[in-house]
Amino acid sequence: MARKQKTPPFEEAMKELEGLIESLEQGDLSLEESLKSFERGVALTRICQASLQEAEQKVRILNGETQDAELESFSDDHE
């Protein structure tokens, strides 16, 4: 019976993802280990993307924007 993994917080997911990338870049893993690392990396990327989308939505709500509002640049070009 497979256990469902607990979703790590954004910072932990990023740290694990960075470690996986580092180990893959070194090229010391077997093909099977590389594929497992890649698969975990894809899952972590999705977790990070979901966390960022949730944070973005919270910012929009706090700014009083609707769910359908377009993204705005945070650049300092507003002269």
Average pLDDT (27-45) is: 96
Span 14-42, average pLDDT: 96
- Give the mean pLDDT of the chain: 85
Quick check: 34 and 24 in contact, CB under 8 A? yes
- pTM higher than 0.85, yes or no? no
pLDDT at 67: 61
pLDDT at 7: 83
Side chain identity, residue 36: K
Q: Residue 13 in contact with residue 46, Cβ under 8 Å?
A: no
Determine the average pLDDT of the residues in 11-18. Answer: 96
pLDDT in tens, 54-69: 999 888 888 887 666 6
Vertex 70 angle, CA 45 and 47, to 5°: 15
